[in-house]
Structure 1
Amino acid sequence: MINLDELFQDLASTRLHFWTNDLRSALERRFEDYTHGELNEWLELQQELPEITPSKFDFNGSVSIGQVSDCSDVERSLLKKLLMPLHPWRKGPFNLFGLNIDTEWRSDWKWDRLKPHISPLENRLVLDVGCGNGYHCWRMHGAGARLVIGIDPSQKFLMQFQSIKHYAGQRPVHLLPVGVEYMPEDMGKQGFDTVFSMGVLYHRKSPIEHIQHLKRLLRPGGEIVLETLVVDGDKDTVFVPSGRYAQMRNVWFLPSALALEHWLTRCGFKNVRTVDLNRTSLDEQRATEWMTFHSLADYMDPNDPLKTVEGHPGPTRAIVVAEA
């Protein structure tokens, strides 16, 4: 079982303390679902991680822990051997004592695109919905957030996060292995200062309900940072794939950026603005040693780089920021 005492201690020192008992019950239910999963196997693997003391940390310009001189080549080789079975590593990159975990996504590029456009995170309570292995949570911590909580139901992503946290030490950064449905329905005035939802909206069958739920997790005046797939068009343009999109089965609604802004406005958000539009490149999402499965190149039309294999418009992502 993952030790969550540090999480509850961190919550107790914030206005989110009211959430502690309900969260503890929710996590107990969630871990019961893991009985037949691989969590215990991965927990045993984590016990084998070499004890290395980091001499430096960087969560601001990257996610880097320690440096090459902190460990021997043998220890670094063992670290790679133990972390590789947590494949596929999708979000990153990470650097542990000179070991470069070259992930499928260059998530640092997305962070560089959005950071100049959001409210400073210093001393803020931050929630990252659908955080994957928590890469961006560490960057939020590096940007000065008081407390960062990421949520993602994947066991594998949880263990990737725990492996990084093992060497990061005691810090107010936590990943909860739950979906957004485990979150309170409404946090009222005690909600988060900033809520991120990146790469989630197009997987939701009811995107408006998702946006409304995110709003209820924010304090009044709090900020939402919403990143999702979009298509070209006006405020009434929404594309609903009839089957797969880039080989993904669970893609439902791809609005235009203007339509997405319209949705947020209808849900009661203010100062809604698109701060970035970016066509995903084969350099930003690709197969690597740490993610050897098919990646974006395999999902695009080999004869038309602007279309998916199904003939749909290729992936373009928008970042929209607004205030509750």
Structure 2
Amino acid sequence: MEKLHNWFKPCLHDLLDSPSVQWLDTLPGALSHWYQSAAASDCLKYARMIEQLPALQTDDIDLSSAVRIGTPGQMSDADQARTTSLLKKLMPWRKGPFSLYSVNIDTEWRSDWKWDRVLPHIQSLKGKQVLDVGCGSGYHLWRMYGEQAEMVIGIDPTPLFVAQFQAIKYFHGPAPVHVLPLGIEQMPVLNSFDTVFSMGVLYHRRDPIQFLTELKNQLVKGGQLVLETLVVDGDEKTVLMPTDRYAQMRNVWFLPSCDALCLWLSRLGFTEIKVVDVDITSLEEQRQTEWMTNQSLKDFLDPDDISRTVEGYPSPKRAVITALKK
């Protein structure tokens, strides 16, 4: 498991001099438990693939307008073929895109579009401690670091996403940007992050109020929550709970209206609650690609009326809400 220890050692080191140092009371034990899991076995398999990637170094990195590491001229044709082959073994790639020298990972989601909608409404990340809950492959972590955050930590229990992040970091090199294979329920109350992001997670939680409380428990006083989630139209009493699937997803529980979600946040003690963006997910933003060949959004919508899902519910509409912890 030494390969996996090496993935997380830099995070443990960076926490030593951070406001989240108390996390070190429980995090090593949580990781030790994780090393015994099936998820860790999967990650070990992925780690062996990642170490076969070509060892390239570059200072030509752009994280402020994209996640771009290197340029095509810095990678040989042989390295391009090798990199493409290895990274395709980590499919499906859902969040991105990523540009690695000559290799462009065209992911299912245009996560850069979401970031463009979110960025104008967040407090400056310069010099800040940032947490992203349910970070996936870590695309947004790199964009947060591109906004000059001091340290960015993402948590996500999905082994493939953890490995995808490590593959990108392999090319980037050392940075105070980390992904830990944990869920929010495994985190202690830290009250130490200046900004907490949660994008595309709330509707997967059986207890959304508990989840929002767990997010709040990670923020410093006055810290900002940036929440992006599926919503439906309606007043503060409107919440959709699908009878079974929503857009073919089984693990969708509660889709509140924006007014209902703002009420939830208010009841939990958040202030300065603002709905800063509402956007209907388009077939251009979420789609099949060479790097994600499974079904995607168009397969989940009514072919005769794309304003409805195949189950008859309103098609995916996403809102971004910001709020401050008292």
Pairwise TM-score range, normalised by the shorter structure: over 0.9
Q: Displacement of 1:54 after TM fit?
A: 2.0
Partner of 2:250: 249
Aligned counterparts of 1:104 and 1:66: Cα–Cα separation in 2: 22
Q: Does structure 1 retain, via aligned residues, the 8 Å contact 2:258–2:275?
A: yes
Q: Displacement of 1:36 after TM fit?
A: 7.3
Q: Give TM-score, length-normalised by structure 1.
A: 0.97
Q: Displacement of 1:37 after TM fit?
A: 3.6
Partner of 1:224: 225
Partner of 1:115: 119
Task: Find the partner of 1:153 among 150, 154, 157.
Answer: 157
Q: Displacement of 1:38 after TM fit?
A: 2.3
Letter of the 1:318 partner, please give it: A
Q: Displacement of 1:109 after TM fit?
A: 0.2
Letter of the 1:170 partner, please give it: P
Letter of the 2:249 partner, please give it: M
Q: Which runs of 5 or more residues in structure 1 are unaligned?
A: none
Q: Give yes or no for the alignment of 1:137 onto 2:141.
A: yes
Q: Give yes or no for the alignment of 1:9 onto 2:6.
A: no
Percent pairwise identity: 51
Aligned counterparts of 2:287 and 2:15: Cα–Cα separation in 1: 37
Pick closer, same or farther for the CA change 1:83–1:288 going to 2, 3 Å: same
Aligned counterparts of 2:21 and 2:306: Cα–Cα separation in 1: 49
Structural mapping, 1:290-309, within 5 Å: 290-309=291-310
Pick closer, same or farther for the CA change 1:162–1:32 going to 2, 3 Å: same
Q: Displacement of 1:62 after TM fit?
A: 0.4
Q: After superposition, give the CA deviation of every residue in 1:1-26 in whole Å (9 maximum; x if it has no partner).
A: 32122112211111111211311111
Aligned counterparts of 2:169 and 2:36: Cα–Cα separation in 1: 23
SS in 2 for 1:291: coil
Aligned length: 321
Aligned counterparts of 2:59 and 2:267: Cα–Cα separation in 1: 50
Partner of 2:176: 172
Partner of 1:263: 264
Aligned counterparts of 1:248 and 1:14: Cα–Cα separation in 2: 38
Aligned counterparts of 2:151 and 2:40: Cα–Cα separation in 1: 31
Q: Which runs of 5 or more residues in structure 2 are unaligned?
A: none
Q: Does structure 1 retain, via aligned residues, the 8 Å contact 2:199–2:227?
A: yes
Q: Does structure 1 retain, via aligned residues, the 8 Å contact 2:94–2:108?
A: yes
SS in 2 for 1:225: strand
Letter of the 2:128 partner, please give it: R
Q: Give TM-score, length-normalised by structure 2.
A: 0.97
Aligned counterparts of 2:304 and 2:41: Cα–Cα separation in 1: 41
Q: Give yes or no for the alignment of 1:187 onto 2:190.
A: yes
Task: Find the partner of 2:56 among 52, 55, 58.
Answer: 52
Please provide the CA RMSD for this pair.
1.0
Aligned counterparts of 1:84 and 1:299: Cα–Cα separation in 2: 24
Q: After superposition, give the CA deviation of every residue in 1:248-283 in whole Å (9 maximum; x if it has no partner).
A: 001000000111111101110000010000000000
Q: After superposition, give the CA deviation of every residue in 1:45-87 in whole Å (9 maximum; x if it has no partner).
A: 1121111122400111000001111111111111000100100
Letter of the 2:275 partner, please give it: T
Q: Does structure 1 retain, via aligned residues, the 8 Å contact 2:155–2:181?
A: yes
Letter of the 1:316 partner, please give it: K
SS in 2 for 1:38: helix
Letter of the 2:229 partner, please give it: T
SS in 2 for 1:86: coil
Q: Displacement of 1:35 after TM fit?
A: 6.7
SS in 2 for 1:158: helix
Q: After superposition, give the CA deviation of every residue in 1:112-133 in whole Å (9 maximum; x if it has no partner).
A: 0010001010011000000001
Pick closer, same or farther for the CA change 1:166–1:294 going to 2, 3 Å: same
SS in 2 for 1:319: strand
Pick closer, same or farther for the CA change 1:55–1:14 going to 2, 3 Å: closer
Structural mapping, 1:82-97, within 5 Å: 82-97=86-101
